[in-house]
Amino acid sequence: MISVDKFLIPIQQRFQNEYNLDKVLKALNNIEKNIPVINVVGTNGKGSTSFFLSNGLKTKYEKVGLFISPAFLYHNERIQINNEPISDEDLKKYILKANNFIKKYNLTFFEIWTLIAIMYFNDRNVDIAVIEAGIGGIKDSTNLFSNQIATILTSVSFDHTEILGNNIADIIYQKVNIAKDNTFLFVSADNEKYKSIIKDSIMNNVKIIYSEKYENAKIEYQKGNKGVVKTVLEYLGVEDFSCLELNTLKGRFTELEYNNKKIIIDGAHNVDGIRALISSIENKENWTILYGAIEGKEHNKILELLDENFENVNITTFDFHKAWDTSLIKHSNKVKEWKEFIELSDKNLIICGSLYFVPLVYKYLIKK
């Protein structure tokens, strides 16, 4: 498979005033209509929820598509059928197909990936596809999947406020209104406190169904994700819930043993994600924290939460163009070289933060 370190997709703008993927799809005779989908939106838990659901759907459907982001180790991970990533050969083939439209329509990075997924799923005649949103809902390119069966709303909190808005009502509005007319919106139990906002935000004729937490989940923050997956599977007539016993995607509470110490790697990178991670850790006095982030996050609130719950919290930076500058952050424990810190530490470690940081750590540990 093709490592995320390798250049693959043309570097395009991530955000712009006008998006043009709809024009490309029109030129392709709207092939996205051939793909029945379940859209997954939310702030935290989208990837895990999409993973569990796609596995559960395989007990009913022959071909189940899965579109997730970001990729953890390999570009191929973004686009899967029956939880098998797209092959290198097919991925390169569909990139060439997409090249016909990229410059002509000035597609953004995420629009390019969405287009590749649509072409691949259509050509492979998938029976159903689980589609994780990149950011938001209305403004997300995944909103263009028009043959929608249902939408899932995972845990909502503040993230990407520069795009989605600075209050929770604006964020919820952006997310839930990806739900099309006469469909179902399945809501994670994590959003119980936002019931009235969700109800007031819906523009279309959508039936809202709230799920309960799946109490058998070993990790606290997966209870809401697994609970909403179980509710959707029941709605679709699936009776096999063995998918709920699977370990989730890499980088979501991934547990490793390394140099006689335990290491947990988790992509918690916003306030609610950090709260969820904290709630899942027992015997907090036994753990040391290493946190790495990108620009634009609520760093002060996150570090305050970590410092309140753990005795030894450290921050670091990493090799990525959007990685934060720790010299601008007020915190007493700054790590210059995270690899050296891991090697020298004699404590159990929780390494968390950006989903651009934790894959670097995972890859380093696996290689070692």
Q: What is the C-alpha to C-alpha distance for residues 201 and 104, in angstroms, rounded to an integer?
A: 36
User: Under a CB-based contact definition with an 8 Å cutoff, are residues 114 and 98 in contact?
Assistant: no
Residues in the chain: 368
Determine if residue 56 is left, alpha or beta; phi over 0 gives left, psi from -120 to 50 gives alpha, anything else beta.
Answer: alpha
- Give the mean model confidence (pLDDT) for residues 224-245: 97
Domains identified in the chain, total number: 2
Are 295 and 161 contained in the same domain? no
Q: What is the C-alpha to C-alpha distance for residues 253 and 350, in angstroms, rounded to an integer?
A: 9
Report the SS3 class of residue 59. coil
pLDDT tens track for 243-288: 999 988 888 899 999 999 999 999 988 888 899 899 989 899 999 9
29 pLDDT band (50/70/90 cuts)? very high
What is the domain-level CATH number for residue 348?
Answer: 3.90.190.20
Look up the domain containing 149 and give its range.
21-245
Q: What is the C-alpha to C-alpha distance for residues 21 and 107, in angstroms, rounded to an integer?
A: 7
Are 78 and 168 contained in the same domain? yes
User: Under a CB-based contact definition with an 8 Å cutoff, are residues 152 and 186 in contact?
Assistant: yes
Are 88 and 175 contained in the same domain? yes
Which tokens hold the place of 293?
Answer: 């982030």
Q: Looking at the domain assignment, is residue 315 inside a domain?
A: yes
pLDDT tens track for 323-361: 999 999 999 999 999 999 999 999 999 999 998 899 999
Are 201 and 281 contained in the same domain? no
Entry pTM:
0.90
| Strand (E) or helix (H) holding 221 | none
Boundary-marking domain end, from 212, 245, 278: 245
Q: Looking at the domain assignment, is residue 7 inside a domain?
A: no
User: Under a CB-based contact definition with an 8 Å cutoff, are residues 136 and 163 in contact?
Assistant: yes
Are 47 and 99 contained in the same domain? yes
Q: What is the C-alpha to C-alpha distance for residues 228 and 43, in angstroms, rounded to an integer?
A: 15
Q: Looking at the domain assignment, is residue 12 inside a domain?
A: no
164 pLDDT band (50/70/90 cuts)? very low
If you average pLDDT over every residue of the chain, what do you get?
92
* Partners of residue 314 on adjacent β-strands: 290
